[in-house]
A and B are shown apart, each in its own frame.
Chain A
Amino acid sequence: MLVLLRERQTIPLLFIMPVALIFFLSLALQGVYMDKLTGRQMLLIIENESHQPTANLLEQRISANKMIQRVRRPSGFDNDKIFETGRAHAAIFIPKGFDEGLKPVEMEFDPVLDAGYKAAVRMLVTGLTVEVVMGIDNIEGLSADFIVEKTKKDRTLPGPLQNSVPGWSIFAMFFIAIPMSIGFLREKNDGTLQRIFTYPVSPVIVILGKLVPYYLINLMQFALMLIVGIYIMPLIIEFPFTLGAHPWHLIPVTLVVAAASTGFGVMVAALARAPEQSSALAATGAVLMAVFGGIMVPYAVMPLVMKKLALISPMYWAHQAYLDIFSRETDFFSLWPKLTVLMLFALLCFYIAGRRVKWM
């Protein structure tokens, strides 16, 4: 533990890195998690060439909608230039002949606009057009008789923190493989590990003495990320972070995730021959597991092939277990398959390390 505490560069990094990742990526991903209809105002150019009553009413309704902030077209700017300079997200053109049903409303979007926002604007304009053309006052009120969205009582929409706090915490926990494998290899190469084995102390105790500090660091990492998620991040971004209905489920899940990441570190130490090799192996392994496991790209937006590949990443199982607690609020039995996979991964890593390395 004393040797570990002297690692004044590496160990603080294991805490700073996930905090920075949670902070910046939650900020960056705010838009992805925002309600596309109510979360953000769209900058819209509305041009009415018709000036007939229905066209005027449509122009008025679109302009009055809370989701829309109407902007004027600067002189000499075509749509391409407007989008390029970021002055508007979309342009709506109501042509002559709209009232007579001869020509449709034309919409053009900034090509790089998020597909979710595009769909939301399209839906809004379609709804308002139907309202004015069919003479309906409130189409949403009418459709409420047929469609109702149900959510759990007092349940807020999941925000970026619900995904990024556990995600980047897991990522940082697996990154412990770097200092851990380097430390093991350094001790093995400089002979201190062999020297320890010349004393009348059980090899199991020696190995546990090496592993437990890293395991404890993993637990501390997760606790710190929780504190950051609960108390600090909601002050900076508008989404809250909630622990879900069964916060005590965090205890077994975190203990098992820490065992899996510690196992990964031991395996890397056993497979690598030099500290340089072990850091490359650990970093590449952790990044690949994060890519496949839905940490870097949310699992929900992955294509089917990537979703199947995600199953090979222990980070996927860990992340899903945390999402079960924070967002899905499932019962403890739903966590069992994920915990079992993580335990098997940990055991496999320790087995490979035990077979591969001659510690003495």
Chain B
Amino acid sequence: MKALEISHVTFSYTPKEDTAKNVGVEYALRDFSMSVESGQMHALLGPNGAGKTTLMRLITGQLRGFQGGISIDGIKNDHSKSLTSVGYAPQPISVYASLTAMENLRVFGVMAGLSHERLQERAKAVLEETGLLPYAQKRASTYSGGMLRRLNLAVALLHSPRLLLLDEPTVGVDPQSRNHIYETLKKMNADGIAIILCTHIMDEAQRMCSSVTMLDRGSVIFSGNMNEIDNLEKFFLERTGHGLRDDD
């Protein structure tokens, strides 16, 4: 079963009226397709401005008005039910700094529609998985960078998603926290959760993921199994070039 299926998606930030006139239209994604099987850990790679964040925002329903189709666990993503299957950990640490870890989980758990009992049970479970249970009653503002990253991940795992989208989940964390995050992801993956890992750390992607999609300027430039690639960083630079990309 496919956890995620994206077929021929085209999207532009240009207003609709200008798109209709086809004047000065810049596409963030153009005829983009990819799929991820259940239980698969898939790397999504691309230089700055390639369209990765746009793709994540389309999958999570934050952006609308695209052409093509996106299905999560077989349900089109314009249906609110599909969103309950997705867990998203954005690159910026998106938690309330003035709240404790437990309070943060309560806020997002209510948004996800979890019952009180389920929320309590899941909050405890994800805090344990991310190693934050001893600090559950401490405010996020007192956390280290690594703890905040883990809390960011805990929020994404809270409602037991079938598909996990992770945008740079280990950026700016110490080796201990990074290792803890890797272990947590492997465990999630072993439990059958599909994971899309969006990262610039090629070593991380090659070690963790079984398949890869590379995109550049909104289009797929490579899609295949990770074991087909010997050196991912070298392969990536060959495909995307050595020129600087500062337009993200």
Contacts and interface: CB of A to CB of B under 8 A. Distances in A.
Contacts of B111: 196, 199, 201
B190 to A, nearest CB: 25
Contacts of A7: 98
A7 B81 CA distance: 35
A114 B81 CA distance: 71
A2 B99 contact: yes
A197 B90 contact: no
B113 A191 contact: no
B90 A191 contact: yes
B112 A199 contact: yes
Given A2-B103, A2-B107, A191-B90, A197 B96 contact: no
Contact of A192 (B57, B81, B94, B112): B94
A198 B165 CA distance: 11
A3 B90 contact: no
A179 to B, nearest CB: 12
A194 B94 contact: yes
Interface string B214-246: 000000000000000000000000000000000
Contacts, number: 56
Contact of A200 (B81, B90, B155): B81
B84 interface: yes
A190 B61 CA distance: 18
B150 to A, nearest CB: 16
A357 interface: no
A196 B63 CA distance: 13
A6 B104 CA distance: 13
A198 B83 contact: yes
Contacts of A201: 111, 113
A192 B96 contact: yes
Contacts of A197: 61-62
Nearest to B109: A199
B98 A200 contact: no
Interface of B: 57, 60-63, 80-81, 83-84, 86, 88, 90, 92-99, 103, 107-108, 111-113, 155
Interface of A: 2-3, 6-7, 190-192, 194-201, 360
25 contacts: A2-B99, A2-B103, A3-B98, A3-B99, A190-B92, A190-B93, A191-B92, A192-B95, A194-B57, A194-B94, A195-B90, A196-B108, A197-B61, A198-B60, A198-B62, A198-B83, A199-B83, A199-B84, A199-B113, A200-B81, A200-B112, A200-B113, A201-B111, A201-B113, A360-B62
